[in-house]
Amino acid sequence: MGRLRVTIEFNPDRREELELYNELIKYSKPSMYIKDVLRGLSPIPFRYISSNLISIYSRGEEK
């Protein structure tokens, strides 16, 4: 059986989505990072508070 894939689409017209995309592409293997976050092995780098994107981690270090 081949690999199973999930596609993530970001809307470049939405500032929050563009910021998420720009943060994600900093990783050498973005898909592995997402999988590690879902497994609980890596921290979630962003969270939404009152519809604003607030960075709470920068590569695992609290700001």
Q: Is 49 helix (H, G, I), strand (E, B) or coil?
A: strand
pLDDT of residue 43: 77
Task: Report if residue 3 sits inside a domain.
Answer: no
Task: Report if residue 9 sits inside a domain.
Answer: no
Domain total of the chain: 1
Domain of 52? 15-62
Please tell me the distance from the alpha carbon of residue 13 to that of residue 43, in angstroms, as a whole number: 27
Mean pLDDT check: name the lowest of 1-5, 16-20, 30-34, 59-63: 59-63
pLDDT tens across 7-55, in order?
Answer: 999 999 998 888 888 888 988 999 998 899 889 898 776 554 434 455 5
Task: Report if residue 6 sits inside a domain.
Answer: no
Task: Report if residue 51 sits inside a domain.
Answer: yes
Task: Report if residue 8 sits inside a domain.
Answer: no
Task: Report if residue 4 sits inside a domain.
Answer: no
Task: Report if residue 58 sits inside a domain.
Answer: yes
Please tell me the distance from the alpha carbon of residue 41 to that of residue 19, in angstroms, as a whole number: 22
Please tell me the distance from the alpha carbon of residue 38 to that of residue 57, in angstroms, as a whole number: 16
Sign of the dihedral defined by the CA atoms of residues 46, 9, 40, 30, in that order: negative
Task: Report if residue 27 sits inside a domain.
Answer: yes
pLDDT of residue 19: 83
DSSP structural state of residue 28: S
